[in-house]
Structure 1
Amino acid sequence: MKIMELPIEFELNGQKNYINPSLIIWKNELTLVDTGYPDFLPLIENEILKNGYEMKNLKNIIITHYDIDHIGSLYDFKEKYPLINIIASEVESKFISGEMKSERLVQAEEMIEDMPIQEIEFGKWFIQQLKKLKHVSIDEKVHDGDLILDNECRVVATPGHTSGHISLYFPSLKSVISGDAAVKENHELGIANPQFCLNVEEAEQSLRKIKDLKAENYYCYHGGIFTL
Structure 2
Amino acid sequence: MKIIELPIAFEFNGQTNTIFPSLIIANDELTLVDTGYPNFLPLIEHEITKKGYEMKYLKNIIITHYDDDHIGSLYDFKEKYPWITIIASEVESTYISGEMKSERLVQAEALLEHMPLEQLEFGTWFIKQLKDLKHVAINQKVHDGDMILQNECRVVATPGHTSGHISLYFPKLNSVITGDAAANEKQGLVIANPHFCLNMDNAKRSLRKIQNLQADTYYCYHGGKITI
TM-score, normalising length: structure 2: 0.99
**Residue 72 in structure 1 maps to residue 75 in structure 2:** no
- Equivalenced residues, count: 228
Once the two structures are superposed, the pairs formed by residues 5-16 of structure 1 within 5 Å of their partners are 5-16=5-16
User: 2:7 & 2:136 partners in 1: Cα distance?
Assistant: 25
What is the DSSP-based 3-state SS (H/G/I as helix, E as strand, rest coil) of the residue aligned with 2:99? coil
Q: Aligned-pair distance for 1:187?
A: 2.0
Residue identity matched to 1:145: G
Give distance in 2, aligned partners of 1:154 and 1:224: 21
| Aligned equivalent of 1:219 | 219
Shift of 1:175: 0.2
Q: Look up the match of 1:135.
A: 135
Determine the structure 2 residue equivalent to 1:104: 104
Encode CA deviations 1:131-187: one digit per residue, 9 max, x unaligned: 000000000000000000000000000000000000000010010000000000022
The secondary structure found in structure 1 opposite 2:225 is strand
Alignment of 1:47-126 (within 5 A): 47-126=47-126
The one-letter amino acid paired with 1:156 is: V
Distance 2:54 2:125 in 1: 36
Deviation at 1:103, TM superposition (A): 0.3
Code of the aligned partner of 1:25: I
Secondary structure at the aligned position of 1:214 is classed as coil
1:14-53 aligned within 5 A: 14-53=14-53
Give 1:54 deviation, angstroms.
Answer: 0.2
Superimposed CA distance per residue, residues 21-68 of structure 1 (whole angstroms, 9 cap, x where no aligned partner): 000000000000000000000000000000000000000000000000
Which residue in 1 is equivalent to 2:201? 201
Question: Which residue of the partner structure matches residue 3 of structure 1?
Answer: 3
- SS of corresponding position for 2:138: coil
Unmatched tracts of structure 2, length 5 or more: none
Instruction: Find the counterpart in structure 2 of residue 165 from structure 1.
Output: 165
Q: Distance in 2 between matches of 1:37 and 1:59?
A: 20
Task: List per-residue Cα deviations over 1:97-128 (Å, max 9, x = no partner).
Answer: 00000000000001111111111000000000
CA distance in 2, matches of 1:192, 1:127: 20
What SS class does the counterpart of residue 109 from structure 1 fall into?
Answer: helix
Structure 2 residue 196 is the aligned partner of structure 1 residue 179: no
Q: Partner amino acid for 1:190?
A: V
Aligned-partner SS, 1:224: coil
2:126 partner SS = helix
Q: Which runs of 4+ in 1 moved over 3 A?
A: none
**SS in structure 2 opposite 1:167?**
strand
Task: Please give the alpha-carbon distance, in whole angstroms, between the structure 1 residues aligned to 2:39 and 2:69.
Answer: 11
Quote the Cα distance in structure 1 between the aligned partners of 2:114 and 2:178. 31
SS at match of 2:101: coil
